[in-house]
Amino acid sequence: MEFVEEFPKNFMWGAATSAYQCEGAALEDGKKENQQDVINRQIHEEYGYADASVTTDHYHHYKEDVALMAEMGFQSYRFSMNWSRILPDGVGEPNPKGVQFYHDLIKELRDHNIEPIVTMWHYDLPMALVEKYGGWRDRQIVDDFEYYARFILNEYKDEVKYWLTINEQSIVVNYIDRKNLISKEDMFNPKFRWQANHYMNLAHAKAAIAAHEIVKDVQVGAALDTAPYYAASSDPKDVMAGKNANAMKNYFYMDAYFKGIYTPSVLAYLKRQGLEFEIQDGDMDIIKKGSENMDFLGINYYQSACMKAPTPGAARRFKQNNKIGKGGKVTYEIQPDFYEGCHNDFLQDTDFSFPIDPDGLQYVLEEINDRYGVPVMICENGFGAYDKLEKDGSIHDPYRIEYIREHIKAMKRAIANGVTIIAYNPWSAFDLLSTSNGIAKRYGFIYVDRTDDEERDCKRYRKDSFYWYQRVIASNGKNLE
Ligand code: BG6
């Protein structure tokens, strides 16, 4: 397959992180708890993984981290702001030290010629709002999200041009127990997920509109988890299941972001299943206006998935990831009368059961471009693995290099087929807390010396992939060897 040799001149190479997964300092300098502080304490009790109190201590190592990113040659860095560090109670009084932390981080990035790309919300709602009204459970969250968005847009408007509103809305809907703190009643109430999704669409739209009002030359997107949902066979029933999954898990979000509508076949399915959500008068106008204020789509791509015709009479089930690594299992999703997930035997899986599929990245990039014709920014892509720190301080991670190399080649093929890609920000700049497998599952180019059991000194080490990525960036993607 033909592909371009190198990337466009203004293409940005960098990497990504999120606040609660790397900052630590969970209760320092005026920050109050967010839902991930609480959720990760539960994960610690259940599985023994580290909690979010220290993680890889970026709050105290940010200067060193930025210097290492600059050494790799980064031109961009995607990170998120920790809402309860900035507004400890969700709304109202800001926390001066928290606000200052992001000014300092951005200054450090700019001093090293690294473009900051800021996610407003990456799973960490302030506990104050969860305690007050249940977070995404209540429509009040839409106004409070807008309040927070306007606050940070005004505060950092001269320093940040690229803004992402919400990280992985589809994942929040699908893994609502791990991305939100909710009652048992909500967890087993599938309707709640779609109502929360509607509130997220409103919150996203209001933030996108505000960004265009407040920030000059702004570029606004949202970061969405994307995957091609292949049919398990050419049996038309399997093909229909694959089509339904693509509509429900990709286009239902993208259609709201870029067309300001809800995908008709998914809306009809939800109604048939008694899962319709409340849309008040004027809501769709806000979502439509939001779509007119979108400049690009951020995509997070790790894996593809496979779908077959659902087992007749099977009950609704949500996907459970492999929680223990090697030997762990995935429980596949079922949407009754719509689709059922299954393993793809053509692909190899990581130790954490993520099927490795670079062609799938090309597939989604071209699908997005053909359907919406918008520029795309890769906001996440990466290989989670057990890395080993050798006695001499080296870390040999050929599997990560191989994974990223093949995904860069997939981007080259997509560019040759007309896709505009603004930046590549793989996950993650340095090691951090995984959402499902603690510190044990590492993604970084920079190794951080700590384990799930021991915090240690969080000393930073360069992995083999660090030097490899440095050469890729220096050649603008030409040299992948
Ligand atoms: C994305 C999230 O879903 O995948 C990140 O935006 C997350 O927060 C990443 O860390 C990898 O998932 P995991 O569970 O391996 O950490």
Other residues' Cβ atoms within 10 Å of the Cβ of residue 399: 15
Q: What is the CATH number of the domain that holds 47?
A: 3.20.20.80
Q: Is residue 4 part of a domain?
A: no
- Number of domains observed in the structure of the chain: 1
Tell me how far apart the alpha carbons of residues 445 and 328 are, in angstroms, rounded to a whole number.
25
Q: How far is the CA of 45 from the centre of ligand 1 (A)?
A: 20
In 217-304, the DSSP E strands lie at 219-225, 229-231, 297-300
Closest CA to 24 of 7, 36, 8: 36
Answer whether 336's CB lies under 8 Å from 314's CB: yes
Is ligand 1 within 6 A of the CB of residue 119?
no
**Domain residues for 96?**
12-474
**pLDDT band, residue 54 (cuts 50/70/90):** very high
Q: Is residue 216 part of a domain?
A: yes
Q: Is residue 319 part of a domain?
A: yes
**Residue 182's pLDDT is what?**
65
C-alpha to C-alpha distances, 138 to 21, 135, 142, 461, nearest whole angstrom:
26, 6, 8, 44
**pLDDT band, residue 463 (cuts 50/70/90):** very high
Residue type, 412: K
Is ligand 1 within 6 A of the CB of residue 427?
yes
The percent of the chain in helix, strand and coil, each rounded to the nearest 5, is 40, 15, 40
| Res 85 pLDDT > 70 | yes
Q: Is residue 244 part of a domain?
A: yes
Is ligand 1 within 6 A of the CB of residue 18?
yes
User: For the chain, how many residues are written?
Assistant: 481
Closest CA to 385 of 370, 394, 398: 398
Q: Is residue 5 part of a domain?
A: no
Q: Is residue 362 part of a domain?
A: yes
Q: Is residue 245 part of a domain?
A: yes
Is ligand 1 within 6 A of the CB of residue 195?
no
pLDDT tens string 170-216: 999 988 777 776 666 776 777 889 999 999 999 999 999 999 999 99
Closest CA to 395 of 450, 359, 446: 446
Residue type, 88: P
Q: Is residue 99 part of a domain?
A: yes
**Residue 327's pLDDT is what?**
80
What is the share, in percent, of the chain residues with pLDDT greater than 90?
91
Choice among 168, 333, 340, 367 that is catalytic:
168
Please give the average per-residue pLDDT across 466-473, as a whole number: 98
Query: Does residue 380 have an active-site annotation?
Result: yes
| Token pair of 201 as six digits | 């669409």
C-alpha to C-alpha distances, 269 to 165, 229, 272, 288, nearest whole angstrom:
27, 18, 5, 22
Q: Is 427 left (phi over 0), alpha (psi -120 to 50) or beta?
A: beta
| Token pair of 187 as six digits | 């967890």
Query: Does residue 168 have an active-site annotation?
Result: yes
